[in-house]
């Protein structure tokens, strides 16, 4: 397994790449969630309007802008739970690759989501996925979503992913 | 049965299962792709949630109607979703005064070989 590169400058937004990058580092490009998101997060991610927000050594934060096309409760204008599930699936997947320092084929084994409260209509939902353990065949993740105040989360997720290239 | 805008985003339509219960169909489209050639896990989860909601609302209407809110959803992914239509159906295992317990499965060619399954708990507010 490739070791993740040490990140400089707080580790947000790939800040460590700008100053004094050496040739040896340039030859080996670790997984960069910001660049990955810019290339597009798949058809469904694009349809939902998911964008990159921030990342750290083992976490990735994505944003889901409010879109009336995602409403699940027309009476109140609250978006459906599905788009939040999709964002957390994406954020937690990317958190694994960020922790590993490289992309690796994987499949979601299970994902549990607790809906703590409805998302506030009109607000962007922010989802932070964290990978807290990588085992030989399985990665373990957790995450939270909020719509402005991280201390007032609207959803909580926990789940597992299996690597498709076999145990290492 | 009217579906919310999110169901249109997934391009869902309602079919009637052999037992008369509602069943949802999601056509394959770029809008629901994850990694190339496969459905996005979030789209499969969204389809399962909509199937569960349709099943609870169908059961609730028979008892005078009401509103529901999702509390927890647990999705198990069993097979990759390929480039073909996906069907999903929810089964209400218990419709209580305040809580509905639902199971839902999603499949493509063969209902006996689901691509994903989920358990959901919904808070029920009866009207």
What pTM, to 2 d.p., does this model score? 0.88
Q: Which domain holds residue B74?
A: 5-126
Which token pair is B20?
């008369």
Which token pair is B23?
């069943």
ipTM surpassing 0.90: yes
A49-163: CATH, from 3.10.129.10, 3.40.30.10, 3.20.20.80, 1.10.3720.10: 3.10.129.10
* Cβ contact A160:A143 at 8 Å: no
CA distance B21 to A134: 42
Percent of chain A with pLDDT over 70: 83
Considering only CB atoms, B43 lies closest to which of A44, A68, A114, namely A44
Closest CA to A32 of A57, A9, A2: A57
pLDDT digits (tens, 9 = 90+) for B36-75: 899 999 999 999 999 999 999 999 999 999 999 999 999 9
Question: Mean pLDDT over residues A64-77, rounded?
Answer: 94
| Domain total in chain B | 1
Question: Mean pLDDT over residues B11-20, rounded?
Answer: 92
Q: What's the gap in Å between the CA of A20 and the closest CA on chain B? A: 34
What distance lies between CA A147 and its chain's CA centroid? 16
| The predicted structure's pLDDT at residue A28 | 66
Determine whether the interchain pair A43/B31 forms a contact, defined as Cβ–Cβ distance below 8 Å. Answer: yes
Instruction: Give the residue with greater pLDDT, A160 vs A37.
Output: A160
Question: Mean pLDDT over residues A54-63, rounded?
Answer: 97
Determine whether the interchain pair B8/A118 forms a contact, defined as Cβ–Cβ distance below 8 Å. Answer: no
| The predicted structure's pLDDT at residue A29 | 78
In chain A, what are the domain boundaries?
A: 49-163
Considering only CB atoms, A70 lies closest to which of B9, B45, B74, namely B9
Say yes or no: A68 contacts chain B, CB-CB below 8 A.
yes
CA distance B105 to A166: 27
Question: Mean pLDDT over residues B85-91, rounded?
Answer: 98
């Amino acid at each position: 397994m490739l070791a993740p590169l040490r990140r400089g400058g707080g580790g947000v937004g790939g800040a460590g790449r700008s100053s004094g990058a050496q040739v040896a580092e340039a030859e080996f490009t670790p997984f960069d969630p910001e660049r990955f998101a810019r290339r597009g997060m798949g058809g469904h991610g694009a349809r939902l309007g998911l964008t990159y927000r921030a990342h750290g050594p083992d976490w990735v934060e994505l944003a889901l802008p409010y879109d009336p096309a995602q409403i699940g409760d027309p009476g109140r204008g609250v978006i459906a739970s599905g788009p939040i599930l999709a964002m957390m699936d994406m954020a937690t997947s990317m958190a694994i690759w960020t922790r590993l320092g490289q992309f690796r084929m994987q499949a979601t084994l299970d994902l549990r989501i607790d809906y703590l409260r409805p998302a506030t209509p009109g607000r962007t939902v922010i989802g932070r996925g964290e990978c807290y353990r990588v085992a030989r065949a399985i990665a373990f993740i957790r995450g939270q979503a909020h719509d402005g105040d991280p201390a007032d989360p609207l959803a909580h997720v926990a789940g597992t992913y299996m690597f498709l290239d076999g145990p290492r | 049965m009217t579906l919310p805008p999110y169901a249109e985003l997934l391009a869902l339509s309602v079919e009637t299962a052999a037992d008369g219960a509602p069943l949802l169909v999601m056509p394959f489209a770029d809008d629901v792709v994850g990694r190339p050639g496969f459905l996005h896990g979030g789209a499969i989860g969204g389809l399962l949630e909509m199937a569960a909601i349709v099943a609870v609302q169908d059961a609730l209407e028979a008892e005078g109607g009401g509103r529901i809110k999702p509390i927890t959803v647990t999705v198990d992914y069993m097979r990759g979703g390929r480039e073909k239509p996906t069907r999903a159906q929810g089964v209400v295992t218990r419709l209580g005064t305040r809580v509905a317990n639902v199971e839902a499965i999603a499949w493509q060619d063969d209902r006996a070989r689901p691509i994903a399954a989920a358990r959901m708990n919904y808070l029920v507010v009866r009207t």
